[in-house]
Amino acid sequence: MLFMKGTPSAPECGFSRQLVGILRENAVKYGFFNILADDEVRQGLKEYAEWPTYPQLWMDGELVGGLDIVKEEMESNGEFFKAYTAAAEVAAV
């Protein structure tokens, strides 16, 4: 799940735009929530996650982090998104 500023088709910040691009390039299937549309969610998630900035990528109910963390994870693990790609879904069938 991607908590971002804007939507994937119309990101409202550069970091959200870059993270959407990474997810698309890796064919990752994901949901999203525009945190600009609901200030209560925006503030509440910051406190819950103890992570003050957006975008935030969550996988399997756990916070991965923002753009920099996702880039680091991808650099250290080339198969970081493998289980979340459209190809993985086809292979599981």
Average pLDDT over the chain, rounded to an integer: 91
Residue 63 has pLDDT above 90, yes or no: yes
What letter does residue 84 receive in the DSSP assignment? Answer: G
**Beta carbons of 90 and 75 less than 8 angstroms apart:** no
- The pLDDT-based confidence of 90 (bands split at 50, 70, 90) is very low
Residue 91 scores a pLDDT above 80: no
DSSP single-letter state for residue 60: T
State pTM to two decimals. 0.87
pLDDT tens for 13-36 read: 999 999 999 999 999 999 999 999
